[in-house]
Amino acid sequence: MRVEELDTPAVIVDRDLLESNIRSMSAYCAGHGIRLRPHTKTHKIPAIARMQVASGACGITVAKLGEAEVMAHAGLENILIAYPIIGPVKTERLARLAAECTITVALDSGIAAEGISHAMADVGSQVNVLVEFDVGLRRCGAQSVAAVVALARQIERLPGVCFQGILFYPAHIWDSPQQQASALGELSQKIQAVIAALRSASLDCAVVSGGSTPTARNSHLVRDLTEIRAGTYVFNDLNEASVGACKLADCALRVVVTVVSTAVEGRVIIDGGSKTFSGDRLLSGNHQHFGYVTERPDLKFVSMSEEHGHLDLECGARNLVVGDRLTIIPNHVCACVNLHDQIFYHRQGVVEGCWKVEGRGRIQ
């Protein structure tokens, strides 16, 4: 079957591009002696996680415990849950999972550390812990060097939890890769200060985990970084392309849609809206558009309702007719994939199969 024969809307992945994206990031990391622990929240598909590991990834990152369970049961090992695991229901599940494979969790509070330690002690299991340090996003993360050291000390005293190092997420840096040097230099100094303080307190900081796709290929500018958790790079999307973190041609995932109405002058309606693409706006540049129409860049994806995409034609442009198909690069691929039960993969237009998005819906 060819891509043209798939009913729409359909999410398709160019497998050649996917493999090239995976190889390229692995090569960058290998070249700089940095481990790659890709964030699989982007795809939530064990088969793609295995491709990443086969290409050199040291393990994987997930956002939620439920995603970790899906990946572990599919045979993935060495999983970082980059999220605080809170409450007895989750810590008990975590303890069971940690008995099966190597699990690391990130956290930023004594309450989280104590809850996990308690559950681990109950089953005689052990989990690695990274203390999250806030480098500017103001989301999670200890706010000072002293807070990191205090929490690391507390973890060292608790049973069942093993302090391994620090984790940060530089998602506040959303400049083009060419313009990141100063922000990453500043970041590097912050990280150095944390490492030095931990060393002074006789705490071994074996892991310094950073990452995010926009900054990934400048990771060598952050001294003593041991691993990155880039995720979006497997598919790329319009957000990444807009800041120059990839080219449009590197976007491996696209959504095929059909024109369902041309009744309104100057407008074309497609069969995908916020329940197909997500309603996420672009993070930089023109925040008003919802995707890039590859065959017709003159069409502006100006708004959406749940099942309708609204494309505006430039004055005088050749119109489309009901039934025409278009291929769109989404703004934010992680949110898009999360809406779908399956995505198709192809090589040069020949559909080879489809992957179930196995981690989707595992929000707890």
Nearer to its own copies, 99 or 137 (CB): 137
Q: Quick one: 89 exposed, middle or buried, by C-beta within 10 A (0-12, 13-18, 19+)? A: exposed
Cis peptide bond prior to 330, omega within 30° of 0: no
CB of 138 vs its own copies, minimal distance in Å: 5
Q: Does 229 engage in binding with its own copies (CB under 8 A)? A: no
Candidates 71-79, 116-124, 174-182, 304-312: pick the segment binding its own copies (CB under 8 A): 304-312
CB of 290 vs its own copies, minimal distance in Å: 12
DSSP string, 320-357: --TT-EEEEEES-HHHHHTT-SEEEEEETTEEEEEEE-
Residue with tokens 């981690």: 359
Nearer to its own copies, 75 or 285 (CB): 285
CB of 33 vs its own copies, minimal distance in Å: 30
Indicate the angle between helix axes 65-73 and 88-98, nearest 10 degrees: 20
For residue 201, the 8-state DSSP code is T
Q: Does 358 engage in binding with its own copies (CB under 8 A)? A: no
With b for 16 or more beta-carbon neighbours within 10 A and e for fewer, the 340-351 pattern comes to: beebbbbeeeeb
Which of positions 313-332 make contact with its own copies (CB under 8 A)? 321-323
- Residue among 78, 102, 109, 294 that touches its own copies (CB under 8 A): 109
- Residue among 18, 140, 161, 187 that touches its own copies (CB under 8 A): 140
- Residue among 38, 141, 160, 170 that touches its own copies (CB under 8 A): 141
- CA-only gyration radius of the chain, Å: 22
Dist. CA 344–CA 45, nearest whole Å: 12
Residues in contact with its own copies by the rule CB under 8 A: 7-10, 41, 63-64, 83-84, 86-87, 89-90, 108-109, 111-112, 115, 132, 134, 138-143, 147, 171, 258-265, 267, 269, 271-272, 274-276, 278-280, 305-308, 310, 321-323, 334-335, 338-341, 361, 363-364
